[in-house]
Amino acid sequence: MTGPTPDTITVNGHRLWRSLMDLAEIGAYDDERTGLRGVNRLALTDADAAGRRQVIAWMEQAGLTVRIDRMGNVYGRNDVEAAARIGVHLRAMVDSGAYGELRATVGHLAVHPDLTNIVPARAELTLDLRNPDDARMARAEEDLAAFLRTLEDDTPGLTLTTRRMAKTAYVPSHERVQKVIAQAADDHGLEHVSLLSGAGHDAQEIAALCPTAMVFVRGEYDGISHNPREYSTPEACAHGVDVLATTLLRLATQDPS
Residue pLDDT, tens place only, 205-225: 889 888 999 999 999 998 888
> Are 16 and 241 contacting, i.e. CB atoms less than 8 angstroms apart?
yes
Q: How confident is the model at residue 4 (pLDDT cuts 50, 70, 90)?
A: low
| pLDDT > 90 in the chain, percent | 47
Q: Are 242 and 188 in contact (CB under 8 A)?
A: yes
pLDDT exceeds 50 at position 151:
yes
Lowest mean per-residue pLDDT among 1-15, 61-75, 175-189: 1-15
Could you give all domains of the chain from N- to C-terminal order, each with its CATH number? 13-107+171-253 (3.40.630.10), 127-164 (no CATH)
User: Does residue 95 have a pLDDT over 70?
Assistant: no
CA of 153: how far to CAs of 141, 146, 156, 158, 167, in Å? 18, 11, 7, 8, 27
Buried b (16+ CB within 10 A) or exposed e, 105-118: eeeeeeeeeeeeee
Whole-model pTM? 0.78
User: In angstroms, what CA-CA distances link 46 with 52, 185, 228?
Assistant: 10, 37, 20
Reported confidence tier of residue 190, pLDDT bands at 50, 70, 90? very high
